[in-house]
Amino acid sequence: MEIGVINGPNLDRLGKREPEVYGTQTLSDLEKKIAAHAKKAGAKTRFFQSNHEGKIIDTIAKWADDGVKFLVINPGGHTHVSVALRDSIAGSGLTAVEVHISNIYKREEFRHKSVTASACVGVITGLGFEGYLLAVDYLVANGKTAAKSKKKK
């Protein structure tokens, strides 16, 4: 089982950007934590970060074409505005969980709306890096269930 993890705009600035909101750990720290957690659960990971919407959309399509079935995505600011990203997730066939480090509902009102959430099976918000690990746990558990039911057919 392979899980793709995408982080959107400004998440490459983790550890530097608004540490009172996002903490002091870096994107590299996050990726190492996710990879180790996924490995213990029997899953492999791929990572991608971009500040550019089109590159994120291209990566989703490539991963889907490569046979990746599961996605953890933090769309960053694209969460609130990108119909194109939402459509990319919805059309990819990937089972996706949206994650936000901060609680978007405790922030500015414009952040309360997620355009991309409707293309995902769930949204985890406000639990810091732990949210990514919970998303991995969900995907691993449900991926194994889906694989078992396919084998029975």
Q: Which of helix, strand or coil describes residue 7?
A: strand
Cα 33 to Cα 64: distance, rounded to the nearest angstrom: 24
As given in the structure block, the two tokens for residue 73 are 């995505």
Supply φ then ψ for residue 148, to 5 degrees. Answer: -65, -40
100 given a catalytic annotation: yes
Catalytic residue among 22, 37, 78, 132: 22
Q: Among residues 37, 78, 100, 132, which one is catalytic?
A: 100
* Cα torsion angle, 18, 81, 87, 9, sign: negative
CA distances (Å), origin 19, targets 86, 102, 116: 28, 11, 25
Per the annotation, the verdict on 138 as an active-site residue is no
Q: Which residues are catalytic?
A: 22, 100
